[in-house]
Amino acid sequence: MKANLTIDEFPIVKDALQRELVLLEAKLRLIKKEVNGFEKEFNMSSNKFIQDFEQGILGDDKAFFEWWGLVQGAKKLEGKMAKIKAVLFS
């Protein structure tokens, strides 16, 4: 879907997207910090963890569900950030 913006509206939308991008970057940094904590605690990369967790190898520890959720949330944020950057820098 494409929106047609007037010359007056474009800077407003661009500023809003830039603010959103800054907020998403800050949120992603916090998530990555938490993810790094899990990687250190369990001495495992998140990629290996996701693979093992989704195959049922690791069990049902509450921490694993939290770690999984953080990794999935980070992926969604990165996708949203990529879309915003594509709009801002195209």
Provide the CATH number for the domain around residue 67.
1.20.58
Tell me whether residue 75 is in a domain.
yes
User: Exposed/middle/buried for 53, CB within 10 Å: 0-12, 13-18, 19+?
Assistant: buried
Tell me whether residue 3 is in a domain.
no
Higher confidence at residue 77 or residue 87? 77
Tell me whether residue 71 is in a domain.
yes
Tell me whether residue 67 is in a domain.
yes
Tell me whether residue 47 is in a domain.
yes
Q: What is the pLDDT of residue 50?
A: 97
Tell me whether residue 23 is in a domain.
yes
Tell me whether residue 1 is in a domain.
no
- Provide the residue range defining the domain that includes 22: 9-88
User: Exposed/middle/buried for 41, CB within 10 Å: 0-12, 13-18, 19+?
Assistant: exposed
pLDDT in tens, 2-58: 677 788 888 898 999 999 999 999 999 999 999 999 999 999 999 999 999 999 999
Q: What is the pLDDT of residue 5?
A: 75
Closest CA to 61 of 42, 84, 36, 86: 42
Q: How many domains are there within the chain?
A: 1
- Give the predicted TM-score (pTM) of the model: 0.86
